[in-house]
Structure 1
């Protein structure tokens, strides 16, 4: 499932306490309403994107009345929505005119290469359909509605999910591609569950002699990028033949969606598909990573809970992943942290050569 934390849980929006507000919260002078209002903030953000508020302000700053006229929306309600978006950090206001912040321009204008607008249906469905059944999942220890089965049966949700993951991949792929080990004379990459294929495409741009194959379910491959050295194969990476003779295998945002038995099975299948000395590259989050503060640790915990609720998977320690890799026949697992890829870290290991014990 997708790699980053925003909005899976009624997103912790960029709303900050001043000292007086923080004291009132800590002393319980005010009721603990911020998590509820964070959910309302998510809906305000989604509504603004759907109404094309951010696209309109990309063209020019505007007053609430001017924006209401441009978008044919109610001016009084628009004024309140714009104030909310400014309070959440998505807009700035000066002299009554609203303008975009860097955050909204990067993520919520439709012409941005990292636009998340097409992924907002996924955000809403996760927060409003899957998470309300959290109590059932916690009681039973298994997802109520397996997420990947849901994607295969719902084309609109699948498109939105793939758009979300592709937007993040466009941001992360250049940083990760720089440290992925690739044979100097070319070779063949297997992109396991790679859907959009953007991590493979970035490698193909950097290595002219390289070829890549993306293996994923048919619905997911509809979002795949086009490249003359990229081959798409529809199938299940747990059940269908992976092929053989690969030099690198990519598993980006795959391991957290699987239970332990499935991870062990997949690692063994990938080891058999790689040439001796071939590398497996896992892009994911790891629980034992250094976190800068309580907010980051809590976001990782929420993401872990999201995986358990939606897929039956979880966030694992790098040390646990390393043990599972060794058990599957891999050697020298390493933990890599690409710059400018703060939500995805790498576990890299190689298949043991026949001469190695």
Structure 2
């Protein structure tokens, strides 16, 4: 998937085809405006103020304690994004806003947008120094208590888009009773899998700061002792020998170096019973730079390298870690909810 300027009139189409439009500005100048304007609208409560109603500009401003002049301009921008509609003098949300932005939606990405606005935007100030030094931010070591809360809520929101699909993509051996969820914090993958397989229980291994903020999230899913947290770092913790039937590691490998991922794969192999499965969920990296390449994959590689000094990995690299640890019988399943997101499973033979 990629984003690019779209012509709205025949003349604009001709101008684009003729190379008369300075398309780099769409990304450099207008792209950051669109992102920040939308994030502030979410963070300031504009979408929540409108909700499922049709309300006036004055009502929106009164609800959010905002000034009418800039909000009117902001609503115009949001309308061009297809997020807000104006009907005479009243404003309402479009279906996509109600689905993806409102907090009460089961598909809501509200907290991911809040995390972007309150935390990730600040990371962009470090892009220049990252390009010079290659040293990322290692944000897990620097997040404040409030930022840990935003982070865990954001990861829950992101996983809500994939966890329902994940239960069909993650193989679980017949009769499995014990699963380890590495870096699973919020627990959505564990919850979804344990609901699908009634005999299955899961232990979520994550950093102490993550567990502290994620525990209240997991509690809302009423899983009791079927899904529990264990505070610790998988790079340092002893996860046992032949303890589990399945191990899942979702969106974690991009925080680890190649050597760390190899270490995790070996520890996981040892922790699995024969026939057990190890599933790694990640956005794959392409090693070829091309116009028709996956923009989300390319952005993810740079973003995670900036934030964690690692980045995304190729299919060959991920299977390589698993194969070196002793896994075989590999399977790859591609997600529809997040383009480029895959589940790669190896089996302990």
> Into which bin does the TM-score normalised by the smaller protein fall?
0.7 to 0.9
Higher relative contact order (CA 8 A, sep 6+): 1
Q: Against the structure 1 CA distance between its residues 70 and 309, is the aligned structure 2 distance closer, same or farther, given a 3 Å change threshold?
A: closer
Using the TM superposition, give the Cα deviation of residue 282 of structure 1 relative to its aligned residue in structure 2, in angstroms.
0.7
1:145-294 equivalent positions in 2, closer than 5 A: 145-151=137-143, 154-221=144-211, 222-224=213-215, 225-226=218-219, 227-228=223-224, 229-244=226-241, 245-288=243-286, 294=291
Using the TM superposition, give the Cα deviation of residue 312 of structure 1 relative to its aligned residue in structure 2, in angstroms.
1.2
Distance 1:121 1:70 in 2: 18
1:5-154 equivalent positions in 2, closer than 5 A: 16-18=6-8, 20-21=11-12, 26-27=19-20, 32=25, 34-125=27-118, 127-143=120-136, 145-151=137-143, 154=144
Runs of 5+ unmatched residues, structure 1: 7-11, 353-357
Q: Against the structure 1 CA distance between its residues 265 and 29, is the aligned structure 2 distance closer, same or farther, given a 3 Å change threshold?
A: closer
Using the TM superposition, give the Cα deviation of residue 162 of structure 1 relative to its aligned residue in structure 2, in angstroms.
1.4
Q: Against the structure 1 CA distance between its residues 97 and 215, is the aligned structure 2 distance closer, same or farther, given a 3 Å change threshold?
A: same
Using the TM superposition, give the Cα deviation of residue 257 of structure 1 relative to its aligned residue in structure 2, in angstroms.
1.4
Question: 2:311 is matched with which residue?
Answer: 314
Using the TM superposition, give the Cα deviation of residue 21 of structure 1 relative to its aligned residue in structure 2, in angstroms.
4.4
Distance 2:173 2:329 in 1: 17
- Note the alpha carbon deviations across 1:192-242, whole angstroms, 9 max, x for none: 011111101001111111110000011211214131211210000111111
CA contact (8 A) 1:238 1:266 kept: yes
Distance 2:22 2:155 in 1: 40
Q: Against the structure 1 CA distance between its residues 53 and 343, is the aligned structure 2 distance closer, same or farther, given a 3 Å change threshold?
A: farther
CA contact (8 A) 1:188 1:247 kept: yes
Runs of 5+ unmatched residues, structure 2: none
Using the TM superposition, give the Cα deviation of residue 97 of structure 1 relative to its aligned residue in structure 2, in angstroms.
2.6
SS of the aligned residue for 1:68 comes to: helix
Distance 1:196 1:308 in 2: 23
Q: TM-score, normalised by structure 2?
A: 0.87
Task: Report how many aligned residue pairs link the two structures.
Answer: 338
Stretch deviating more after TM superposition (174-183 or 327-336)? 174-183
Q: TM-score, normalised by structure 1?
A: 0.86
CA contact (8 A) 2:185 2:205 kept: yes
